[in-house]
Homo-oligomer: A and B are copies of this chain.
Amino acid sequence: MQNISIFFIIEMIGTVAFASSGAMVAIKKELDLLGVVVLGVTTAVGGGMLRDIILGNVPPALFMNPVYVIAGFLTVLVLFTVVRLNQMILESRSIEMYERVMNIFDAVGLGAFTVTGINTAVMAGYGDYRFLAVFLGVLTGVGGGVLRDIMAGQTPYILRKHFYACASIIGAIVYTYLLEFAGGDFAVVVSACLVVVIRLLATRYCWNLPKATKKKKEVV
């Protein structure tokens, strides 16, 4: 019970971070209130929706118990109102501080959602299908962001740069192995923390994956 409560809290932190990332993309694209709400909420719960559809877990959990939808919705409303009341905030110093906090929240969300996705697969009886379990973990973590980017008309962030999705992939693989050899709680904590740490290190030190073609060097 205690565990569930703590896990619920970190999932909520992730929901707030994901919703706000979707809302900021929509605000920068000058979408209207509905656009901001749809993009924010989709980023927050879209990954879980795709996971449930692929698992045949329909209607997806988010519809049966819309607590995460409501949390995402409220986050978006607050953000929209703050920006609306104070346009300058988008170019102020506080936005930097805000983005730094949200970056940490987002990392926490990525860790929590990755673990949740795999747990959903295991509970549905697919624990032995490691590829499926890892895929669903990563999809739960990054799927909302992919839907956000497709709807916003930009190439999905995870395909373009940073180590973002890799943090989720590594955590997911580690989690499926830990589940076999260690207790559930231990596996959850280690794997989720691993995702958070890799994700934050990747942002801090600008880790990037290689590209096939090198940029031409600037002419001196």
Task: State the A residues within 8 Å of B (CB).
Answer: 26-27, 29-36, 38-39, 49, 53-56, 58-60, 63-64, 66, 69, 80, 83-84, 87, 90, 126, 129, 131-132, 135, 146, 150-156, 158-161, 165-166, 208-214
Pairwise interchain contact B31-A211, C-beta atoms closer than 8 A: yes
Q: Which B residue's beta carbon lies closest to that of A83?
A: B212
A208 contact from B32, B55, B66, Cβ within 8 A: B32
The CA of A56 and the CA of B61, in the complex, are separated in Å by 13
7 A-B pairs, CB-CB below 8 angstroms?
A27-B212, A32-B208, A35-B160, A54-B60, A90-B213, A151-B156, A151-B159
A54 contact from B38, B53, B150, B165, Cβ within 8 A: B53
Identical chains bound together, number: 3
A55 contact from B32, B58, B126, Cβ within 8 A: B58
The 8 closest A-B pairs by CB, nearest first: A35-B159, A56-B58, A32-B209, A63-B132, A83-B212, A33-B209, A27-B212, A66-B131
Q: Which B residue's beta carbon lies closest to that of A50?
A: B53
Q: How far is the CB of A139 from chain B (nearest CB, A)?
A: 11
A209 contact from B34, B209, B210, Cβ within 8 A: B34
The CA of A35 and the CA of B151, in the complex, are separated in Å by 18
The CA of A90 and the CA of B211, in the complex, are separated in Å by 14
Given contacts A59-B54, A59-B56, contact A160 B129 (CB under 8 A): no
A166 contact from B34, B158, B166, Cβ within 8 A: B34
